[in-house]
Structure 1
Amino acid sequence: MKAPERKQRLAVAAGDANPLAYVISQNDAETLAMVQAALETRRLRLAFQPVVLAADPDKVAFYEGFIRVLDVTGRVIPARDFMGAIETQELGRLIDCAALEMGLSTLARQTDIRLAINMSARSIGYPRWMKTLKRGLQLSPTIGERLILEITESSAMLVPELVMAFMDDLQREGIAFALDDFGAGFTAFRHLKDFFFDIIKIDGQFIRGIHRDRDNQVLTAALAQIARQFDMFTVAESVETVEDAEYLRSVGIDCLQGYLFGAPTASPGFAIDAKDGQRTG
């Protein structure tokens, strides 16, 4: 038995540790091992979800790429089962690197799409992530202007000054930035005016059922007004019904994303059929 495991078991036996905390710790350790193994064997995929124009939902503004980790049987392991455990670990940085690498490769192959890739503010300054970005930008001269980096509101608020400097450097390369889950992380407005995000994605908790929820209508209108004040493009997340989509369009939201327009899929609509050159999906 390894020393850390022996120490944990002795602590539980002696009553010095909360048994529930021990179980959670063990589950986290198993999760980390599972994700590590998936990284080492490249059992990773990107799933793509369309973000459509509110004024014309048949037109895709860009796609968002979601990292998918597979177990040994090929089953997708939900991100909620591991993201919390790896977020503060180096493993989280490696997942960000893998997602970026796959996203850049997709942009190199598909030269007529824009793609958003998620990253944590904790990956800013991580040498491997920056090397992955620089290498990927060299694949095609248009990749930078078609890449969108999404940073969650809560993540951005961890190190706002560092995020601002990071964004300023990469926006010079043509890269756009989206503030994900806007409204969920309580961004300090004194920072928001300095961030210069290109896109604001309004958190789904305000969007689901909005056509019949007056409180969420008021909150979403306020968030959208803030975005417009700072010349930021607005995206409503988690759009699931026609009624919600119609309401959001009526109040001037720019883009819509959600299951109403397509679930994340490894076989997205931008795939080209080699036989007849037509789009599939």
Structure 2
Amino acid sequence: MSKTDPLLIHLSETLKLTGQVAFVWNLTEDKLLFFGDSKGVFDCEAGELPSNSLEYNKKLNPEDLPYRLETLHTIFDALSNEQPQTDYKIKYSARHMDGSFIPLEEKGTAIYEPKAGQKIARGIIKIDAAALKENLILQGMEGALIKPDIMGDATAGRRYLQNIIEGLSQEHTRCLDRGFVLAVGIDRLSVMNEVYGHEVVDAIIEKTGKRLQELALEGGTVMRLGGDIHGVIFKNRLQKNMDELARYILQNFLRRPFIIDNQSIQVFVSIGGKKIDEITLTPASLLVKVEKALQEAKGQGRGCYINYDESKVEGAEDYKNLLELGNDFLQGLRNNRVCVAYQPILGTNKDEVSFYECLIRLISEDGKLIPAGHFIDAIEHMGLTRLVDRFCMKNAVQELEKYPDIRLSINVSNQTLMDPEWLKDLSSMLHGQKDVAARLIVEITESSAMQNIDYTLNIVRELQGLGCAVALDDFGSGQTSFSQLKDLNLNMVKIDKSFLMELDNHKNKLFIETLHTLAGGMDMETVAEGAQDAEVMKYLKDSGIQHIQGFAYGRPSIERLWLSEEDPDRHPVKLNTLKYDDLVKKDV
């Protein structure tokens, strides 16, 4: 197929008049061909269009990419001699030259050609006019947009930062010794929450953002990244000045307390820094790295700074390993080597399993079971957490449909929580199945919940409206106060395992017992995570905790633990060829 074919030239001109692009994608050879209005749809000339799926994926919004990949994977996997073709429609957004994301609609047909042994997709891509109209907020005249609230809305802030980084990575003439990102986190915010209350803490967060804007001066842009964290990006400042600037910010906060309600409040911050260099994988991966540096800085105490590129957070070899692990996971997903493990949670009232938590697992090519801890960092680096969450969600709903006597919980990452398509999919799967929904628990992490409290409240209401229970995971690890816990109106709260690791500390016991008492008054059940021995389990039972999770009671297993050993369905069908005795014993 040649672009000089007169028929294709005529087709291309016709498509330009209608504002559309036609495409042909040979999956077997991974070759892409486009015809039509490339400037109108993709904001680039015909010669700049991507020629394969890897190049095309780079143009897409990183937050939409996992959804598109999963959808296409499902569609092409289903093609066979009996079903040689199927139509599909996907909506996502692509980057224009000004850094903005434009919503697109892709309508295509997936085709299997058995004689040639090829899979092909062909169809039309156009701007999604309805979504574009919804996204645009007109101010006075058409095209004048209100700037997103990057200081108040953490989701908008993260997207804004990722857009800037993505734009920089595509500037081939950019000086590689310029540009860096700082993640600035407020220290001990959860303590201040309890001492001063959430209104003062909100004021501290707002004043921290304004202080950073003041210190960034010209050339720096500040945005909220979530919870107690602000991001500061310097696109053109020399990278060698990053350490000096970070320490200047630390000293400023040390010397200048905030005045709130006529009282002086000393606020300390910790900082993680990362250069924007040529080896950065994606905007999402850079964000992960700078936040890892921040967490290491926080771990060293108040008012600390870590330069990611000079720290031992992750060496070059570790980075390479992460990429390999991420690719292994994607390959495993394609080859049905990804599965779910179920960890039993003890219900102390009846001294039996109250529910099972669904945990992702990968089977290596030689049949060994790989726990999530070995590859979850790679998944986060590659922006694939939504793919994992969707896999667990679909698996859980299918299991609940098949086994009416069990209850399952699934984990939802921040990326997934902010993805409206995930909630639509769950709603569709649970439609007309109130009994299934009533046995599904959705776990959201404390850090995710606090990034945008109003948005989280809406999500909690929608999930509960479907009939699901909602649990707050890792409570106590972040900044949530007891009063905010009440506002969220949750069904269940899971106490962070760090409190069980040091039960000799009187404060930890006091926290657990206080939380249980308050949760009871708010009609919330309590779950203690990380019970490692019988002594801890006895303490938790005596304290009235309703659910206990940990190796002391049960390890995760890819077997359906609710079925008897003799039941052939106890082992997942797609993994029947594996050596289950070895897998289950090694699954920790």
TM-score by length of 2: 0.42
In 2: Cα distance, 1:182 partner to 1:89 partner: 27
Change (3 A) 1:198 1:74: same
Seen in structure 2, the aligned counterparts of structure 1 residues 197 and 88 have a Cα distance that, compared at 3 Å, is farther
Decide whether the 8 Å contact of 2:427 with 2:466 is kept in 1: no
Which among 420, 430, 433 is matched to residue 137 of structure 1? Answer: 430
Question: Is 2:454 the partner of 1:161?
Answer: yes
More strand by share: 2
AA matched with 2:321: N
Matched, 1:226 2:535: no
- 1:40 paired to 2:329: no
* Segment of structure 1 superposing worse, 91-100 or 65-74: 65-74
1:154–1:276: structure 2 CA closer, same or farther, 3 Å change rule?
closer
* Secondary structure of the corresponding residue to residue 466 of structure 2: coil
How many angstroms apart in 1 are the aligned matches of 2:317 and 2:472? 35
- The residue correspondences of 1:1-281 to structure 2 (distance < 5 A) are 7-8=278-279, 21-57=315-351, 59-87=352-380, 89-126=382-419, 128-138=421-431, 140-208=433-501, 210=503, 212-271=504-563
Judge conservation of contact 1:44–1:69 (CA < 8 Å) in 2: yes
**Alpha-carbon offset, residue 42 of structure 1:** 2.5
Distance change (3 Å), C-alpha of 1:229 and 1:186? farther
Distance 1:114 1:88 in 2: 31
| Alpha-carbon distance between aligned partners in 2 of 1:119 and 1:192, rounded to the nearest angstrom | 18
**Inter-partner Cα distance in structure 2 for 1:252 and 1:18:** 47
* Maintained 8 Å contact 1:71/1:77: yes
How far 1:88 moved relative to its partner? 6.3
Confirm or deny: 8 A CA contact 2:491 2:525 kept in the other structure. yes
- 1:193/1:116 CA distance change after superposition, 3 Å: same
Residue pair 1:8, 1:22 contacting (<8 A) in 2 also: no
TM-score (norm 1): 0.83
Counterpart CA distance in 2 for 1:184 and 1:139 is 37
> Is the CA contact (8 Å cut-off) linking 1:115 and 1:147 kept in structure 2?
yes
- Pair 73,183 (structure 1): closer, same or farther in 2 beyond 3 Å: same
State the superposition RMSD in angstroms.
Answer: 3.2
CA deviations on 1:132-171 (whole Å, 9 max, x unpaired) are: 4134314844111110001111222223222110110120
Contact map agreement 1:101 1:132 (CA 8 A) in 2: no
Task: Please tell me whether the aligned partners of residues 202 and 220 of structure 1 are also in contact (alpha carbons under 8 angstroms).
Answer: yes
SS of the aligned residue for 2:442 comes to: strand
Counterpart CA distance in 1 for 2:441 and 2:279 is 43
Q: For the residues of structure 1 that align with 2:378 and 2:430, how far apart are their CA atoms?
A: 30
Shift of 1:197: 1.2
Which AA in structure 1 matches 2:419?
Y
By how many angstroms is 1:111 displaced?
Answer: 0.5
Using the alignment, how far apart are the partners of 1:188 and 1:236 within structure 2?
A: 18
> Quick one: distance in 2 between partners of 1:69 and 1:205?
26
Q: CA deviation at 1:36?
A: 1.8
Shift of 1:181: 1.2
Contact 1:156 1:163 in 2 (8 A): yes
Partner of 1:12: none
Question: Deviation above 6 Å: which 4+ runs of structure 1?
Answer: 273-277
5+ residue gaps in structure 1? 10-16
Distance 2:486 2:380 in 1: 27
Deviation for aligned residue 1:22: 3.5
Q: Which moved more, 1:196-205 or 1:259-268?
A: 259-268
SS in 2 for 1:185: coil
Q: Distance in 2 between matches of 1:73 and 1:139?
A: 41
Query: Deviation of residue 79 (structure 1)?
Result: 1.7
Cα displacement (A) at 1:232: 1.1
Shift of 1:236: 1.1
The 1:134/1:41 distance shift into structure 2, 3 A limit, reads farther
> Quick one: which amino acid aligns to residue 517 of structure 2?
Q
Give the equivalent residue in structure 1 for 2:122. none
What letter corresponds to residue 65 of structure 1 in structure 2? Answer: C
Q: Quote how far apart the aligned CAs of 1:18 are.
A: 5.6
Distance change (3 Å), C-alpha of 1:78 and 1:169: same
CA distance in 2, matches of 1:44, 1:276: 20
Larger Rg, first or second structure (1 or 2): 2
DSSP-derived class of the 1:236 partner: strand
Task: Work out the percentage of aligned pairs sharing the same amino acid.
Answer: 33
Local SS of the residue matching 1:27 = helix
> Could you tell me which residue of structure 2 aligns to residue 14 of structure 1?
none
Structure 2 gaps, min length 5: 1-53, 56-168, 170-277, 281-308, 570-588
Matched position secondary structure for 2:490:
coil
Structure 1 residues 159 and 72: alpha-carbon distance in aligned structure 2, compared to 1, 3 A threshold = farther
Given the superposition, is the C-alpha separation of residues 154 and 132 from structure 1 closer, same or farther in structure 2, using an over 3 Å criterion?
same
Q: 1:34 to 1:148 in 2, by over 3 A?
A: same
